[in-house]
A and B are shown apart, each in its own frame.
Chain A
Amino acid sequence: MKGLTHFVSGIAVASFFPQAVHMAVQEKSFILALGGIFGILPDTLDFKFARYFFKPEFEVRPDPNNLDAKKIAEGVAEAVKKAAEDGKSTLQLHTMQLGANRWRSYSLAFEKETSEIVVEIGPEIDTGQLPFLGTEVKDPQKAVARVKVDCEFQQDFDKKSTIGIMTGPAFEFAKTEDGKVEIIFLPWHRTWSHSFTLGILTAFIAGIIAYFTVGEGPNPDLYTLPRWMMYPLIILFGSAIHIIEDSTGFMGNNLFYPFTKKRTKGLGFMSASDAVPNFFFVYTSILCIIFNLDRFHPGQILETRAISNPWFYWIVFWALPSVVMFYLYFKGQGTKSKKKNKPDFDSPKMEHEPDVSVI
């Protein structure tokens, strides 16, 4: 899922605590925003820190001025062979930047049936990954290469990885018990940062700090939970909702790192980059936030609520648009049904800012 989806979901989860809403209104507390911050934090940790901790043993640095698919494929094969022999290896593929908005793409596939590594040099593309016509490599010898390795591949999803813009992807190759080489896409992503363990640990630390620093608020008798407990709970649920949302995609999470060693398989309901599911989560979260802010407003009773008819609210503003969204989503899925099992590589995309007329 996109960062914003996690962020808004985190706030939505926090808004389910009436005491947190009261704290926001009565004490001008930013506690609800805390849910959003911890909602996006797992991705922040990965893309701002964890990716830099990853040290690849092999790196493939293709030269855009001397394109050769075979050279790339051989570089990958070398890493795979090392894994087959030693049990594990890591690989970083680099991109080829030609201009601020121009990149040379190439793709990498691991063919299970033939145990071949297939590399194809693609066209030049822009940052939106749209190809420039007529930029394909003309020489087939240089454009496509197949290199056979002496091991079988094990892969969760059949996917040709396209290496195009920004930083290229990393792979880990691990030998399995039955002698195959498992291909792990982005080994540094969705591991420790996307574990419930980290959420619990962070919440625990925040809980200790809050216990000693957060005093009693107004009307403590109204609440079953002490006020200091709001902080760890919102942190815990904020980070948990991120992990749960990510699990709906194809790439799962390492749920109880370091007690679990591997990422789970995702539920495969949708791809992290799909527009409709992302919007659905954001929209639902916003509706929840508005609803909760209204019903949990201090001293609020149904008669004084701005949303005086919850059924109307949920049917008109949630159920009906959701039907439309799902219709659009499944209609869209139908048109690209061939593209099943897309991995959800939720790396940050090249992001544009608008021109000065918009800022």
Chain B
Amino acid sequence: MQTVLNLILNPQYLILVYFSFIGVLFSLIVSFLPALHIYNVLGILMLLVFHLEVALPPMHLIALCIGMIVGYSIFNTVPASFFGPGDESMSYYVLPSADWLEKGRGYESVILTAIGSLGGIVIMAILAPLFIKIVPILKTVTGPHLFWILGAVIAYAILSEWPKGLSYSSSRLTNFLEGWKYLGIGLLTFFLASILGFIVMNKTLVPVDFAFQSITPVFVGLFAIPWLITNIINIGKVPKQHIPETVEIDWALVYQGSFSGFLGGFFAAFMPIVTAGIGGLLSSHATAQRDNRLFILSYGTCKTVYYVGSFLLFFIPGVYLTRGGLASIVSPVMFATGYREYFLFVAIMVFSAGISFLMLMPFTKACIRLVEKVNYKWVSIVTLVLLIPAVFKFTGFGGLAIMAVATGIGLMPVLFQARRMNLMAVLLVPVCVSMAGYGNHVLRFLGLI
């Protein structure tokens, strides 16, 4: 009991609470600008931290990062929901969150996602002691097989995309071409993204001093700018939003959604390169998910488990799994420590999630008020105006060139209605091929060696 009290009342731990709170606040600011990813911002923060390192002990930096990643995984739903309404003239499907926004239920959608995120945090906290036993076994067993597991993920992502279209024509050929048009764009996107991946992963076109973030212009181009552009040319409306007292949900849904999301998130966190989007797709297929509420909730869980879980794996004593962007960014200065630090991580994670959830509600309301007063397009325009010079500042003309090409590829699935997930080929294919030992053959074929 005394040990526990010593642990709880020790001022050296209270300062960790302070740093995690600062991290949450920081993520709140970052989340306000749509398309700005926490990894990019963290990269810039690291530029400062690497210089301030002496002043900031590792555990303080860890607490700051936990606050940021937990906060971001919960807050980033808000701009994604309110600054990009559905536009049926551009999107083949309207995302469930956009659909809810159109019905004035954007707030509910955000809260549902956040409930999913909390579910993910709770599951991770409960399973944290078990991870110490299970993750090393999984690492040992799957270690030599990661390349083909990634290959299988790629194969499934390609094979499981079904043709779209109504097949309304009497001509079979017309229907076939209609259905395959979307699949073809998906395959083309996949192919182009793979080539881009081979280029950027084997040639540093950005200054060496920013090499640790060399993938930034790729992701800004593939995801952020296309999203901002589609928001700018979007003609959808954000109707008046209703802020209810309660959210329509039952415990069965919470359990089901959190469980499904956790599976996808954990798979994404454990596997190199696999992201929450892919993990979520796999788990939603594995659990035959259909309900929109379940979809929203489980993706909340999935992305939180992915973002936070991949960082948590980095701290499992004796395992030292560098998964996810944050672990890669901080790995030069942080390294796995003992059990005490691991469980401190878990405690800070739970605290950060609680604080983030409490802050989410006023944050969402503020965003709702903002989109009622200011056209959402302006938020995207401002972000775009800030983003492009920032990429240039840190990555120079090389980064700008990568970003431009990546933007072209990133716009393809958005404007031609293919699966955006195909864009992840930018990392999946080069890493999988290199792990299997065929990377140099491809690079020689491309003339990159």
Direct contact of A and B (CB under 8 A): yes
Q: Which of A8, A32, A95, A275 contacts B288 (CB 8 A)?
A: A275
| Bound-complex Cα distance A31 to B151 (A) | 10
Q: Is B303 within 8 A of A357, CB to CB?
A: yes
Contact of B335 with A by CB under 8 A: no
User: Are A47 and B155 in contact (CB-based, < 8 A)?
Assistant: no
Q: Contacts of A78 on B, CB cut-off 8 Å?
A: none
Tell me which residues across on chain B come within 8 A of A8, comparing CB atoms: 286
Binds A, one of B120-128, B203-211, B416-424: B416-424
The residues of B that contact A167 with a CB separation of less than 8 Å are 165-167
Choice from A37, A51, A359 contacting B155 with Cβ under 8 Å = A37
CB of B286 within 8 A of CB of A282, answer: yes
In the bound assembly, the distance between CA atoms of A293 and B151 in angstroms comes to 16
Q: Is A336 an interface residue (CB 8 A)?
A: no
Q: Is the CB of A355 within 8 A of B155?
A: no
Find B183's partner among A24, A31, A48 (CB 8 Å cutoff): A48
A5 to B281, CA, bound (A): 13
A128 CA to B296 CA, complexed, in Å: 12
Minimum distance in angstroms from A304 CB to a CB of chain B = 10
A55 contact set on B, CB distance < 8 A: 172
Give the residue name and chain of the B residue nearest to A1 (CB). B288
User: Does B159 lie within 8 Å of A11, measured CB to CB?
Assistant: no
CB of A210 closer than 8 Å to a CB of B = no
Please name all residues of chain B whose beta carbon is closer than 8 Å to the beta carbon of A3 when the two chains form the complex. Answer: 156, 159-160, 285
Contact status of A355 and B290, CB under 8 A, knowing A37-B155, A55-B172, A348-B162: no
A167-B167, A290-B138, A352-B96 known; A24+B145 contact, CB < 8 A: yes
- Is A334's CB within 8 Å of the partner chain B? no
Which of A97-105, A212-220, A240-248, A252-260 lies on the face that meets chain B? Answer: A97-105
Are B436 and A28 within 8 A (Cβ)? Answer: yes
Are A359 and B223 within 8 A (Cβ)?
Answer: yes
**A323-359 interface bits toward B, Cβ cutoff 8 Å, 1 = contact, 0 = none:** 0000000000000000000000000111111111111
Binds A, one of B60-68, B79-87, B308-316, B381-389: B79-87
A297 at the interface (CB under 8 A from B): yes
Instruction: Give CA–CA (A59, B94) in the complex, Å.
Output: 28
Q: How far is the CA of A224 from the CA of B302 in the complex (A)?
A: 44
Tell me, yes or no, whether A320 is within 8 Å of chain B by CB.
Answer: no
Q: Which of B93, B140, B159, B291 contacts A44 (CB 8 A)?
A: B159
B343 interfacial contact with A, CB 8 Å: no
- Interface pair A358/B145, CB less than 8 Å apart: no
Residue B295 is within 8 A (CB to CB) of chain A in the complex: yes
A357 contacts B80, CB within 8 Å?
Answer: yes
A4 touching B156, Cβ below 8 Å: yes
Residues on A with beta carbons closer than 8 Å to the beta carbon of B160 = 3-4, 7, 40
Q: Which of B162-207 contact A (CB under 8 A)?
A: 162-168, 170, 172, 175-176, 179-180, 183
Cβ-defined contact, A97 with B166, below 8 A? yes
Interface size on A, residues (CB 8 A): 68
Q: Does A2 contact B (CB under 8 A)?
A: yes
A59 to B169, CA, bound (A): 10
CB atoms of B299 and A358 under 8 A apart? yes
CB distance B94 to A52 under 8 Å?
A: no
A28 to B144, CA, bound (A): 9
Cα distance A92–B303 when bound, in Å?
Answer: 40
Q: A29-B148, A350-B93 are in contact. Are A357 and B76 (CB under 8 A)?
A: yes
Decide yes or no whether B97 CB sits under 8 A from chain A: yes
Whether B288 pairs with A273 at a CB distance below 8 angstroms is yes
Q: Is A279 an interface residue (CB 8 A)?
A: yes
Residues of B within 8 A of A353 (CB): 93, 95, 277, 281, 419-421
> A residues within 8 A CB of B162?
47-48, 348, 351
Q: Report the separation of the CA atoms of residues A47 and B302 in the bound assembly, to the nearest whole angstrom.
A: 28
CB-CB < 8 A to A294: which residues of B?
Answer: 140-141
Closest approach, in angstroms, between the C-beta of B435 and any C-beta of chain A? 8
A129 interface residue, CB < 8 Å from B? yes
The reply to whether the CB of B437 lies closer than 8 angstroms to some CB of chain A is yes
Within 8 A of A (CB), among B134-159: 136-138, 140-142, 144-145, 147-149, 151-152, 155-156, 159
Q: Given contacts A166-B166, A355-B95, A358-B280, is CB(A307)–CB(B141) below 8 Å?
A: yes
Compute how far the CA of A48 lies from the CA of B80 in the bound complex, rounded to whole angstroms. Answer: 32
* A358 contacts B276, C-beta separation under 8 Å: yes
Q: How would residues 398 to 422 of chain B score, 1 for a CB under 8 Å from any chain A CB and 0 otherwise?
A: 0000000000000000000001110
Cα of A277 to Cα of B255 in the assembled complex, Å = 17
B35 interfacial by beta-carbon distance below 8 Å: yes
Q: Is the CB of A101 within 8 A of B99?
A: yes
Let me know if A25 and B145 touch, CB within 8 A: yes
Let me know if A306 is at the binding interface, CB within 8 A.
yes
Which A residues contact B (CB, under 8 angstroms)?
Answer: 2-5, 7-8, 11, 24-25, 28-33, 36-37, 40-41, 44, 47-48, 51-55, 59, 61, 92, 94-95, 97, 99-101, 126-130, 166-167, 273-275, 278-279, 282-283, 290, 293-294, 297, 306-307, 348-359
Residue numbers of B with Cβ under 8 A of A are 35, 76-77, 79-81, 84, 86, 88, 91-99, 136-138, 140-142, 144-145, 147-149, 151-152, 155-156, 159-160, 162-168, 170, 172, 175-176, 179-180, 183, 223-224, 227, 275-277, 280-282, 285-292, 295, 299, 302-303, 419-421, 423-424, 435-438
The 4 closest A-B CB pairs, nearest first, are: A348-B162, A4-B285, A357-B80, A359-B277
Given contacts A37-B155, A358-B302, 4 further A-B contacts (CB under 8 A): A2-B286, A48-B180, A99-B94, A100-B91
